[in-house]
Homo-oligomer: A and B are copies of this chain.
Amino acid sequence: MQRINIQNITEKHYIMNTETLYQNIKSKGSFLCVGLDTDLSKIPPFLLKHEDPAFEFNKRIIDATHKYAVAYKPNLAFYESMGLKGWRSLEKTVEYIRLNYPGIFLIADAKRGDIGNTSKMYAKTFFEIMDFDAVTVAPYMGEDSVTPFLSYSGKYVILLALTSNKGAEDFQYAFDCKAQMCLFEKVIKKSKEWGSPENMMYVVGATQANMLLRVRNIIPNHFLLVPGIGAQGGSLNDVVVNGMNEKCGLLVNSSREILYASQHEDFDTASADKALEVKEAMKKYL
């Protein structure tokens, strides 16, 4: 882990290259990403008396699970829906992780993307205003909507390729006559020219594990962020068998199963138990 300046920002930001990420995965025996989809209607009710219940919840979840996870992934929707307070909870969560657990890979699950000069502002938000390592980006608007995020050295775009939801079937499998491949394959094939495995990763849902071989045919070396294990029905074994590469190449996300394992005072212990269970399952494959 090094700390260097990016662009002309004077503060120090963390830089994590994929080799360091792989070393962290090996030393922890885990490629678990915990999705911080913090929802005030789902957290243990006793936390609501705190001034900032979302942050208090995150802090306890992170303290309890950080040994078993290499990455955290707050989904922006949950924080935005709490208004200004939610945005502040998110900022505090990022700062808390940076201060206390510097080896963690930090993903803003924001699914942003706009015309070039606007995407630049989103990149500023997640890489300068907040010190995330990576941000999820939607590919629909093409190259100039993605490249502004790639101009930050040591930061990553995680581009949506094949998502874990039912709606993935609507457009992502559209078969392109000219390219002779599905849209999600075209997205990967085209976009991999815009960056490298050192600044791009891809979202491929665990519910689409049978497609991972086709994804690996196009991008053998990129890291994949894999949501959809657990509540959404994906299998860890299928993901590993079809998607793992020599340097692991996988960050497998779990959100609800870990976050909401218990509603009691010791909810964080229950979350840690659940994360440990996932980590133990992962360790066998490393």
Contacts and interface: CB of A to CB of B under 8 A. Distances in A.
A187 interface: yes
Given A78-B121, A88-B84, A179 B174 contact: yes
Contacts of A87: 83-84, 87
Interface in A35-57: 37, 39
* A interface bracket (residues with beta carbon within 8 Å of B): 35 or more
Contacts of A164: 115
A245 interface: no
Contacts of A166: 116, 142-144
Nearest to A231: B117
A172 interface: yes
A62 to B, nearest CB: 20
A95 interface: no
A109 B160 CA distance: 20
Interface of A: 37, 39, 75, 77-78, 80-84, 87-88, 91, 109, 111-116, 118-119, 121-122, 124-125, 129, 138-146, 160, 163-172, 174-179, 183, 186-187, 190, 232
